[in-house]
Amino acid sequence: MKIKNLCILGSTGSIGTQTLDVVRTYPERYSVYALCANRSVDKLVAQALEFKPEVVCIADESLYDELSRQLSAIGFEGKIWVGADSIAEMVTMPSIDIVVASMVGYAGLRPTIEAIKAGKTIALANKETLVVAGEIICELAQQYHAPILPVDSEHSAIFQSLVGEDRSEIEKILLTASGGPFRTYSLDQMRTVTASDALKHPNWDMGAKITIDSASMMNKGFEVIEAKWLFGVPVEKIQVLVHPQSIVHSAVQFTDGAIKAQLGAPDMRLPIQYALSFPERLKSDFPRADLFTLGSLTFEEPDMKRFPNLGLAYEAMRRGGNIPCVLNAANEVVNLAFREGRCGFLQMSDIIAETMVKAAFIAKPTYEDYVATDAAARRIAEQYL
């Protein structure tokens, strides 16, 4: 068996560290060739010491000296790179087989595009990439024969349900959502919630940005867009179901009425491992979902009044062009502002909606248009804070 060389973007984040858990379990299958973090120098150095990559990279240029000092102190002999240009170059290195794209937010777009152009297999955890530029990403993936394997649990479930199936026979995608910590809150209660309330996700342990997106259901809106691009299904055929137990990770309904779903305990290591090992399944000792203990699984319709972000995501896709990019940029601004106490919970959706109205529409954006749209939308959203 040939060892697969991994490049992990966002290696110190939630998906990155869980990817390294999988590598630790299967050292005969996976080796870490390159590690990249945004700002977490200490964690990155500890990972370099353990996994001995050829390249270590930090996105934040101001941390280069500190990273170099710490890496030389542990006797690291590989390359030390810094900044966005280096990341874009790193992902194309010939020895790399799989790029795990788990950076947070818009920053994941450029390296993902470069990795696709280099024909790498992409284990995609950065959903913002598909939200912002799904059309370009899918066209490039076809052109350069770069497989995109979903790491997001819902999309992994859909992907697993589609193994052996013809995609033209999909009638509907049933995308499940936990509903987040405010599922049962009234609008009045939601007005006063804080970031620390929102960071208590009932089922999943994730990074801060995505946990806030889950609480506001923007995460689910993004996942609808992500599913559209990954599986070629129009958003009208993607139905969100609130499923508080997070056991059914998503399902596909086919034209004959059959529904296939993937179930399991909420543990991101399973979809990560499946993306790395596909089409094989590897043994694991991850916790099992015990259906007897669970007893019952429930499903309810999402409430678009209390969670307008979901509606905004559908609207962004209906309008198309650069509007999903506007949606993402405005969301990154308000998500951070909410975490820093500069924006109320419900105010986040209002600002995103306003930004979608104010931003200039481009029907068929190029990569450069996306870059300009992202910057413009951020400026507009900031003005409302």
- Between 110 and 155, CB nearer to Mg ion: 155
Tell me which H or E stretch contains 376.
helix 367-383
DSSP string covering 120-153: -EEEE--HHHHHHHHHHHHHHHHHTT--EEE-SH
CB 140 within 8 A of CB 114: no
- Chain residues 31-70 in contact with Mg ion, contact rule CB under 5 A: none
- Between 68 and 203, CB nearer to Mg ion: 203
Please choose, out of 36-44, 61-69, 144-152, 159-167, the segment that lies near Mg ion by the rule CB under 5 A. Answer: 144-152
Q: How far apart are CA 124 and CA 94, in angstroms?
A: 19
Site string for Mg ion, 94-133 (x = CB under 5 A): ----------------------------------------
In whole angstroms, how close is the CB of 223 to Mg ion at the nearest point? 6
Cβ-count burial 73-97 (b if 16+ within 10 Å, e if not): eeebeeebbbeeebbbbbbbbeebb
In the chain, DSSP assigns E strands to 4-9, 30-37, 55-58, 79-82, 98-101, 121-124, 148-150, 170-177, 238-242, 248-254, 259-263
In whole angstroms, how close is the CB of 271 to Mg ion at the nearest point? 9
In whole angstroms, how close is the CB of 204 to Mg ion at the nearest point? 8
- Is 152 an interacting residue with respect to Mg ion (CB under 5 A)? yes
CB 36 within 8 A of CB 59: yes
Please choose, out of 7-15, 103-111, 151-159, 333-341, the segment that lies near Mg ion by the rule CB under 5 A. Answer: 151-159
In whole angstroms, how close is the CB of 239 to Mg ion at the nearest point? 16
Tokens 């491992």 label which residue? 273
**Pairing relationship of beta strands 79-82 and 4-9 according to DSSP bridges:** unpaired
In whole angstroms, how close is the CB of 78 to Mg ion at the nearest point? 33
Site string for Mg ion, 327-356 (x = CB under 5 A): ------------------------------
The 8-class DSSP code of residue 249 comes to: E
In whole angstroms, how close is the CB of 222 to Mg ion at the nearest point? 9
Please choose, out of 79-87, 154-162, 287-295, 365-373, the segment that lies near Mg ion by the rule CB under 5 A. Answer: 154-162
User: Contacts with Mg ion: how many residues (CB under 5 A)?
Assistant: 3
- Between 275 and 380, CB nearer to Mg ion: 275
Residues of this chain that interact with Mg ion (CB under 5 A) are: 152-154
